[in-house]
Structure 1
Amino acid sequence: MEIVAEGLAFPEGPVVMADGSVIVVELAGGRITRCWNGRTEVVCEIGGGPNGAAIGPDGALYLCNNGGLDLVRFQNAHGPGHEGRIERVDLATGKFERLYDACGGIALQAPNDIVFDADGRMWFTDLGKTHDGVRTASGLFSAQPDGSDVVAINRHAVSYNGVGLSPDGRHVYVADTHQARLWRYDRRLEAQRPAWVATAPGPVGFDSLAVTAAGNICVATLYQGGITTITPEGRVTKLDIAGEPYVTNIAFGGGDRQDAYITLSQTGRIAKMRWDEPGLELHYNG
């Protein structure tokens, strides 16, 4: 693996840009950072706990912000200023605005990951929060990028994290962290029960994910760190990354989309490696 950047404060949410740079969030630093082959530049100091990110139909960066995380105890920060929210960032100016912090009058807890469909609608997960041994519910949501409409697809999950779309756009895949399970939703339906796709063996957890052009789901895997690849039929294989317990994200880039950018969050690094199949082209790119 080639190390693209290091010295980052728990990097997550990589977005591969057309100019070859990679934008990441620094969850423990409360900022968004652009990386070029060892150089870094702060886009903005957004605060809270920036998490998953994606380019929207207007070219802006849309961000899940979990409100802040105590990485020593792995508990969410709470109190004023630590609300979970969805934010929009103008990459040219660094200006950001809050789009959503509630759905149906119920506060968002810890928005985690995000993807846009072909219609320009965002799909995002809410991991839920943990405070002093008490855990709130997790869920999957769908929303318009202009802040006008947000819908709860499921409010009763355990610990939803990564989210991605199938190549034909029919399905939404969601990774559950604590269960190490991959679930599938029908994108055309609102309230529904998801279909189980696969569960990873061993003492592992699931984080963010990316889908390949062939439809395989590559899930960043925690504790025994690596990338778990799951076929739509549920076959499971795993690439181990030794010494990296917090492998948290994978994103594809390069001219053939076979450059895999992987966040090694505990050691504060972004790595790049060649993947054996091209990633799915996202609907919107920077």
Structure 2
Amino acid sequence: MPELRTIAEGLRFPEGPVALADGSVLVVEIRRGTLSRVDPDGAISVVADCGGGPNGAAIGPDGAVYVCNNGGFRWHDRDGLSVPGGQPDDYSGGRLQRVTLDGEVTDVCTEVDGRPLRGPNDLVFDADGGCYFTDFGKTRAREMDLGGLYYALPDGSRVEELVFPLHQPNGVGLSPDGDRVHVAETGSGRVWSWEVLGPGRVRRGAELLHGFSGARMLDSLAVDSAGNVCVATLNTGEISVLSPDGELVEQVPVPVPDPLVTNICFGGPDLRTAYITSSGRGVLYETEWPRPGLAPHFTA
């Protein structure tokens, strides 16, 4: 079992980790509304104030950071955990944002075909420089949105809906050769997979990669170099590793129990360092992973 080491504590619901070439790690702090940098010594600094609820993040082809902003949550403090809730009174609307490392924030898109984005959650760039992203939707007192899978170019000139509806789509990732896109649904505990026919084109009809039993719910994910899908698993507070054919092969819990383990990314010179966000407790961990991660198409 990999040994996890604490890099930083006191983060305000960290998510969307991105490993940088200098050894630092970008994270969003959803409750703080920022894109932040964690240095190797654990020092935390704010890169940009994104407002709303910055969620997934990824480096684009221009070296900027692209952020899925869910518009914000209601927040609750329970038993030492920071817990997100439904749509807040100051909800700012969903959007895909471009953030430079010197702090400039601009919107790429806020709607698709005239329909507003509700709660963009996670994204991944393909080799052609476009990104697949999920819209989780928002939850209100007696209703909730349906979500979907989308594709966008970084300049906003193309934004398309690929799959709708999905139930709380969260993490999204591509297979090593880019021929499949995987999406984790939170509430259903299912990971779905679509064949990619071209940039931003998927074959109709999803294949179920894996359905989790019990009370396991899913958050974001990353794919390793062998094509395994490493998906953050809520309630049980661990990273679950699925083989390319959907077999559950490994589960890696965090050392201090947290039902809100939300994300994983890979970094280091050989991509063997995994960074894991324990969001309820505000902790960023690192560990040596048994296999190299999948190299992102774009880095900074």
TM-score by length of 1: 0.97
1:147 paired residue number: 156
Moved more, 203-212 or 241-250: 241-250
Q: Distance in 1 between matches of 2:192 and 2:59?
A: 24
Question: 1:152–1:191: 8 Å Cα contact kept in structure 2?
Answer: no
Offset of 1:190 from its aligned partner? 4.3
Q: How does 1:12-161 map onto structure 2 within 5 Å?
A: 12-36=15-39, 37-72=41-76, 74-78=85-89, 82-91=92-101, 93-161=102-170
Q: Distance in 2 between matches of 1:199 and 1:191?
A: 21
Q: Distance in 1 between matches of 2:62 and 2:8?
A: 27
Structure 1 gap ranges (5+): none
Q: Distance in 1 between matches of 2:107 and 2:175?
A: 28
**Kindly tell me: are residues 190 and 104 of structure 1, through their superposed partners in 2, closer, same or farther at Cα, counting changes over 3 Å?**
farther
Question: 1:262–1:271: 8 Å Cα contact kept in structure 2?
Answer: yes
- Tell me the amino acid that sits aligned with residue 48 of structure 2: C
Question: 1:154–1:191: 8 Å Cα contact kept in structure 2?
Answer: no
Q: How many residues align?
A: 284
1:213 paired residue number: 225
1:263 paired residue number: 277
Question: 1:14–1:251: 8 Å Cα contact kept in structure 2?
Answer: yes
2:238 paired residue number: 226
1:177 paired residue number: 186
Offset of 1:38 from its aligned partner? 1.3
Please give the secondary structure, in 1, of the residue aligned with 2:51.
coil
- Tell me the amino acid that sits aligned with residue 231 of structure 1: S
**Kindly tell me: are residues 83 and 191 of structure 1, through their superposed partners in 2, closer, same or farther at Cα, counting changes over 3 Å?**
farther
Offset of 1:78 from its aligned partner? 5.0
Q: Distance in 1 between matches of 2:147 and 2:194?
A: 15
Percentage of pairs with the same residue: 45
Please give the secondary structure, in 2, of the residue aligned with 1:69.
coil
**Kindly tell me: are residues 212 and 191 of structure 1, through their superposed partners in 2, closer, same or farther at Cα, counting changes over 3 Å?**
closer
- Tell me the amino acid that sits aligned with residue 35 of structure 1: V
Offset of 1:193 from its aligned partner? 2.1
Structure 2 gap ranges (5+): 77-83
Offset of 1:202 from its aligned partner? 2.2
Q: Distance in 1 between matches of 2:116 and 2:88?
A: 15
Please give the secondary structure, in 2, of the residue aligned with 1:135.
coil
Q: Greater RCO between the two (CA within 8 Å, min separation 6)?
A: 2
Tell me the C-alpha RMSD between the 2 structures.
Answer: 1.2
Question: 1:66–1:111: 8 Å Cα contact kept in structure 2?
Answer: yes
Offset of 1:74 from its aligned partner? 0.8
Q: Does 1:198 align with 2:210?
A: yes
- Tell me the amino acid that sits aligned with residue 174 of structure 1: V
Q: Distance in 2 between matches of 1:276 and 1:142?
A: 32
Question: 2:8–2:38: 8 Å Cα contact kept in structure 1?
Answer: yes
- Tell me the amino acid that sits aligned with residue 56 of structure 2: G
Q: Does 1:239 align with 2:248?
A: no
Question: 1:67–1:78: 8 Å Cα contact kept in structure 2?
Answer: no
